[in-house]
């Protein structure tokens, strides 16, 4: 995007947004320029290749670094049927990440499969645990993963205690019912304590997908704060087709930052570069709903990502992470960990690499 357009948009966001709390006098640079690369190891193990903007094959981490990435995020599942995104694979991939000089965020789902606002299944081994047993399990598991990384010289720079836990995690024990945050808070405290026992400098993130709603965001973070939960960074997901306007995002970030006194990071965002589908797996986001009239093209994908970064920066956030930019369509890297070979990639139109593994030449992570 031309600098003049970027500046004009930045000014427009500031002018349009209904500011509910003071914005920073001068926006500080984004320090966490992130990419969630949780599916990358599987692609590489299948022989997948990545190509830079010139079409030359290169290491995918190098390609991302050239585009501005300085931080990588990895999800960890307890015992997934696929054998990927477990502790062993996180250790393997973390070594590659740290070797490239990137910082590391570990995203604990506390599940054997996807955890998000609509589902927070406990891992099979914990299915019949009482709340007290879950508290012990969360502490021990978090501490084990963190200390295993630390022992290998791969200490995480940040961790998420749960993933998109809008109404709790490890349901039903840790689900928030009738605004009772005590059970969830007891689990979050154990995750926080385990992380700090492993390494006091590792930042703890509490993450919800409430960038669309200030009232929901306040309900959640007010609730855990009142229940005595401590955290270091407030994490939000923002997908414009689900979470509304950039002006609203701006307001939510400013309010979260000032209300809780914690830095805010957008730990997930993405935009489509096409509405087409590369495989038999239905796209999670069809690409037919456009944001800000930005087309579903490579240039459009880059434009929307730049605008999200500009909005976050102007609102005083500290970082933005693109979710799964490397997950291009390759047979065998399926969506369902219980059937990784038999399912396709629901993110093939949202990755920043095309269906042949070439990076979008327009996209940039910018401080």
- pLDDT at res. 18: 40
Residue 27's pLDDT band, with cuts at 50, 70 and 90, is confident
Residue 16's pLDDT band, with cuts at 50, 70 and 90, is very low
297 CA to centre of own chain? 22
H-type helices in the chain, by residue range? 3-16, 40-45, 60-66, 87-99, 131-151, 182-198, 214-226, 240-243, 246-260, 298-315
Q: Choose which CATH entry (3.40.250.10, 2.60.40.10, 3.20.20.80, 2.40.128.20) describes domain 32-323.
A: 3.20.20.80
Q: Which residues, 6+ apart, have CB-to-CB distance to 242 below 8 Å?
A: 212
CB atoms within 10 A of CB 297: 15
Residue 193 has pLDDT above 80, yes or no: yes
Q: Six-digit token pair at 214?
A: 């200030």
- pLDDT at res. 26: 66
Q: Which residues, 6+ apart, have CB-to-CB distance to 13 below 8 Å?
A: 246, 247, 250, 307, 310, 311, 314
State the average pLDDT over residues 21-26.
53
State the average pLDDT over residues 8-20.
38
Annotation marks residue 324 as catalytic: no
Question: What is the C-alpha separation between 119 and 114, in angstroms, rounded?
Answer: 8
Q: Annotated catalytic residue: which of 107, 255, 268, 277? A: 268
- pLDDT at res. 6: 33
State the average pLDDT over residues 80-87.
98
Annotation marks residue 268 as catalytic: yes
Interior CA angle at 266 toward 261 and 270, to 5°? 170
Question: What is the C-alpha separation between 309 and 210, in angstroms, rounded?
Answer: 17
Residue 217 has pLDDT above 80, yes or no: yes
Terminal-residue alpha carbon distance, the chain: 15
354 CA to centre of own chain? 21
Question: What is the C-alpha separation between 101 and 65, in angstroms, rounded?
Answer: 9
Q: Annotated catalytic residue: which of 107, 112, 164, 348? A: 164
What residue ranges do the domains of the chain occupy?
A: 32-323
- pLDDT at res. 104: 99
Is the CB of residue 41 less than 8 Å from the CB of residue 291? no
State the average pLDDT over residues 83-103.
98
């Amino acid at each position: 995007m031309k600098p003049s357009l970027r500046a004009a948009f930045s000014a427009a966001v500031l002018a349009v947004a209904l500011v509910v709390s003071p914005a920073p006098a001068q926006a500080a640079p984004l320090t966490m320029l992130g990419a969630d690369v949780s599916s990358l190891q599987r692609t590489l193990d299948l022989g997948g290749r990545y190509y830079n903007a010139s079409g030359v094959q290169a290491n995918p981490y190098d390609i991302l670094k050239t585009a501005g990435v300085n931080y990588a995020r990895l999800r960890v599942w307890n015992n997934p049927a696929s054998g990927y995104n477990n502790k062993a694979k996180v250790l393997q991939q973390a070594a590659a990440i740290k070797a490239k000089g990137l910082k590391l965020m570990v995203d604990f789902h506390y599940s054997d499969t996807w955890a998000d606002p609509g589902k927070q299944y406990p891992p099979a081994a914990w299915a019949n645990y009482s709340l007290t047993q879950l508290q012990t399990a969360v502490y021990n598991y978090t501490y084990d993963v963190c200390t295993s990384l630390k022992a290998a010289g791969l200490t995480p720079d940040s961790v998420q205690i749960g993933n998109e836990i809008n109404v709790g995690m490890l349901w039903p024990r840790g689900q928030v019912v009738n605004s009772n945050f005590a059970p969830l808070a007891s689990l979050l405290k154990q995750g926080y304590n385990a992380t700090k026992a492993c390494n006091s400098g590792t930042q703890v993130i509490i993450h919800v997908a409430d960038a669309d709603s200030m009232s929901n965001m306040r309900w959640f973070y007010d609730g855990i704060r009142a229940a005595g939960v401590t955290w270091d960074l407030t994490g939000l997901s923002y997908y414009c087709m689900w979470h509304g306007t950039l002006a609203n995002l701006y307001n939510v970030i400013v309010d979260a930052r000032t209300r809780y006194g914690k830095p805010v990071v957008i730990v997930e965002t993405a935009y489509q570069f096409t509405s087409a589908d590369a495989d038999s797996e239905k796209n999670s986001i069809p690409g037919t709903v456009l944001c800000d009239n930005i087309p579903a093209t490579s240039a459009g994908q880059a434009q929307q990502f730049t605008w999200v970064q500009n909005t976050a920066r102007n609102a005083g956030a500290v970082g933005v992470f693109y979710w799964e930019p490397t997950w291009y369509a390759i047979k065998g890297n399926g969506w369902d960990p219980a059937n990784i070979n038999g399912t396709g990639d629901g993110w093939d139109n949202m990755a920043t690499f095309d269906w042949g593994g070439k990076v979008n030449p327009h996209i940039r992570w910018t401080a």
